[in-house]
Structure 1
Amino acid sequence: MDNQYVRSTEQRKAAQRKASFYVKRRMLLLCIAAVLIFGGLIINIFDKKKELAEREKVEVAVAQRLEEVKQDQEILHAQVKKLEDDEYILKLARKEYFLSEEGEIIFTMPSDKKEKNEQEEEKNADE
C-alpha cells in the first residue's frame, strides 16, 4: 500500500522520532550541565569549609598569643610601678650591685658569689 496517507503517516512518525531524539538530547545536555554546576558548588562549599577551619585555628592561635602578650604587659606595668618607687630601686641596687648606705659594711660569702655567678650565667643564656 503505497498511497498518500501511508506516506504522510510515515513522514509524521519520522518527524516525531526526530523531534523526540532532539528533546532527549537537550534533556541529556541539560542534566549534564546541572550535574556540573551542582558539582562545582559542592566542591566550592567543601573548600570554603576547609578554609574556615584553617582560619579558626589561626584565630585560636592569635587569641592565645594575645593573652600571652597581655600577661607580659601586665608584668611589665608592675615592674614599671616598682621602678617608680625609690625604696625598691635602692633595695635593688644594694642587692645587685652591692651598694651600701653610709656606715654600712657588706660581706660577701663564697656561696653568695657562687649563686651570683649562676644567676649571671642564666641571664647570659637567656639573652
Structure 2
Amino acid sequence: MLSAKDKRVAQIQSSYVEEQQVKAHFQERKKRGLARRLSFLCIICGILFAMFTSIFISQNTVITDKEQQKKELEKQLSTMEKEEGKLKEEIKKLNNPEYVGEIARRDYFYSKPGETIFKLPSSNGTN
C-alpha cells in the first residue's frame, strides 16, 4: 500500500492527526450511508410512481368502459320507455269495449248478429 517513496516519509503520531483520520473516516462512512439512503429512496419513489401510474391507467380504462356501458344502457332505456308508452296506450284501448270488438271482428272474424264479413286483400300484397 505505501510506495517506497511514502515509506521514507514519517507520519507524525499525535492525537490531532489521529482525530483528523478518525474524523475523515467518519465523514467517508457518512457520505456512503447518505448515498445508500438516497439510492434506496429513489428506488422506492420509482416503484411507487410505477404503481400509481399503473393504477391510474387501469382506473381510466374502467371509467371509459363504464361510460360506454352507461350510454348503451341509456339508449336501451329510451327505447324501453317508448315501448312502455305504446303498451300503456294499448292497455287503454283494450279497456274500451268497442276497440276490443273491432279487433275480434278483424282478426278472429267475429260478427254482430246479421252482419256479414268480407276480407279484402290488403293494399301491400299480404293477407
TM-score (normalised: structure 1): 0.79
In structure 1, which of residues 36, 43, 50 is the aligned counterpart of residue 47 of structure 2?
36
How many equivalent residue pairs? 114
**Cα displacement (A) at 1:8:** 3.0
Superposed CA deviations along residues 35-58 of structure 1, whole A, max 9, x for unmatched, are 111221121111111111111111
In structure 1, which of residues 64, 72, 79 is the aligned counterpart of residue 83 of structure 2?
72
Matched, 1:24 2:35: yes
**Cα displacement (A) at 1:104:** 1.5
Identify unmatched segments of 5+ residues in structure 1: 117-127
- From the two aligned structures, give the one with the greater helix fraction: 1
Moved over 6 A (4+): none
Considering only CA atoms, is the larger Rg found in Structure 1 or Structure 2? 2
1:88 corresponding residue in structure 2: 99
**Cα displacement (A) at 1:16:** 1.0
2:118 corresponding residue in structure 1: 107
In structure 2, which of residues 51, 65, 68 is the aligned counterpart of residue 54 of structure 1?
65
Counterpart Cα distance in 2 of 1:58 and 1:9: 73
Counterpart Cα distance in 2 of 1:87 and 1:3: 126
Identify unmatched segments of 5+ residues in structure 2: 1-10
The one-letter code sitting in structure 1 at the alignment partner of 2:69 is V
Counterpart Cα distance in 1 of 2:58 and 2:126: 58
The one-letter code sitting in structure 1 at the alignment partner of 2:79 is E
* Cα gap change, 1:51 to 1:100, in 2 (>3 Å): same
